[in-house]
Amino acid sequence: MGVSSESPVGGTIVTPARRRRTGRAGAVLTWLAVTPFAAWAVTRLAGLERGAIPTQIMTATPYAAAGSLVPLMIAALGRRRAATAVALLASTVLGFSVLPRTLGVAEATAGRPLRVLTVNLLFGRADTQTIMNMVRELRPDVLNTQELTPGAVDGLDVAGLTEVMPHRVLQAEWSAGGSGIFSRFPLEPLDDALPPLEGHNMPVARLSLPGGAPVELFDVHPVPPIGPHAAAWQKALESLPGPSGGTVRILAGDFNASLDHVPMRRLLARGYKDAADQVGAGLIPTWPANRRIPPIITIDHVLVDERVGVKAVSVHDVPGTDHRAVFAELSVP
């Protein structure tokens, strides 16, 4: 049954109730589309994610930023002013969180050149000959490895790594917990640089880089934030020290974290910058590689002291592992 009213020129105007119901349904559907992205924006802005599942979901923030344009368009086309305002605000917050990673702000910085390559070997299954070819082509001064097994060490040495990088601080294991730093220049292990942590080994070494003071290298690999391991993941990232006034520090590895995670953002706020972010390559995904689906998230990083210049960053495929390698050309003061 409709609603009637008298017209000033005579007759009766009837407004069907169905149209009103349709309008209400449209408003409800619009808010159902807008609300998840608004909640995501608030969570990202305020750093409210807690627990394993929200932490894992936060990795998809770049996709949420792109997807937030859809409810904005729906609200705008439906002339829902309040919903449009909320959707616009959510898109703005998410956009400003993500877009700077594609722009790059690196400036030329004079200093000593340092090339860093990092790769997760997936239980030592990564193709060692491919890694050796990358070492010869890219000529890194340092190679950080995660999930390094004794077998992978032997494979790399057979491929010729001993000749190119004779210096090393290794904590290899027959599991995902192994890690190791290889270098062209002398390394001194720093066994007390980190507190005892649950999960993977994270060796630290002092690199004797020619032309100035040594550089501290951290081979980073916290456990993934899955199930009960989320607390250990957060603790590992929080244990990483900030830059020191007298010592340049470089953190490279599989962080199991994106730039949208609160512990990672806090680590950067202590005085680091993400090398890929600096050159506009911060959204290049690194995991999962060599799968039926292409890489979708960025969890492998090279973090550098704010005094370090970033010249270039590139990402490379390595058969046998589910991570892509990250290579950074740096300039150390």
pLDDT (tens digit per residue) in 83-97:
999 999 999 999 999
Residues 29 and 121 in one domain: no
The neighbouring-strand residues paired with 228 are none
User: In the structure, what pLDDT confidence band is assigned to residue 27 with cuts at 50, 70 and 90?
Assistant: confident
Q: Are residues 97 and 121 in the same domain?
A: no
Q: Give the whole-number percent of the chain exceeding pLDDT 90.
A: 86
pTM: 0.90
What's the confidence (pLDDT) of residue 245?
83
Residue 257 has pLDDT above 60, yes or no: yes
Banded model confidence at residue 109, pLDDT cuts 50, 70, 90: confident
Which residue carries 């409709």 as its tokens? Answer: 2
Q: Choose the final residue of a domain: 85, 101, 117.
A: 101
CA distances from 274 to 36, 42, 124, 160, 254 (A): 29, 23, 26, 31, 13
Mean pLDDT to the nearest integer, 14-40: 80
Q: Are 72 and 142 found together in one domain?
A: no
What's the CATH code of the domain at 241? 3.60.10.10
| Domain assignment of residue 34, given as a range | 3-101
Render 200-251 in DSSP notation, one character per residue.
S---EEEE--TTSS-EEEEEE-PPP--GGGHHHHHHHHHHSPPPPSS-EEEE
Does 167 share its domain with 271?
A: yes
The arithmetic mean of pLDDT across residues 156-162, rounded, is 97
Q: Both 77 and 124 in a single domain?
A: no
- Both 118 and 97 in one domain: the answer is no
Question: What pLDDT shows up at residue 104?
Answer: 85
Q: What is the pLDDT of residue 9?
A: 55
Domain final position from 60, 81, 101: 101
Q: Can you give the pLDDT at residue 108?
A: 64
Same domain, 115 and 74: no
Predicted confidence (pLDDT) at residue 122 exceeds the cutoff of 60: yes
Query: Would you place residue 120 in the very low, low, confident or very high pLDDT band (cuts 50, 70, 90)?
Result: very high
Give the pLDDT score at 89. Answer: 98
**CA distance to 27, 72, 73, 128, 298, per residue, from 68 (Å):** 17, 7, 9, 42, 20
Same domain, yes or no: 79 and 127: no
Same-domain pairing of 84 and 113: no
* Domain closes at, from 46, 76, 101: 101
24 pLDDT tier (thresholds 50, 70, 90) = confident
Phi, psi (deg, nearest 5) at residue 54: -60, -35
Identify the pLDDT of residue 10: 55
**Residue 93 and residue 20 share a domain:** yes
**Sheet of strand 300-305, all strands in order from the earlier edge strand to the far edge:** 187-189, 204-207, 215-220, 248-254, 300-305, 272-274
> Does residue 53 sit in the same domain as residue 135?
no
Q: Over 70: is that where the pLDDT of 18 sits?
A: no
Same structural domain, 94 and 238: no
Residue 266 has pLDDT above 70, yes or no: yes
**Distance between first and last Cα of the chain:** 79
pLDDT value of residue 298: 98
How many domains does the chain divide into? 2
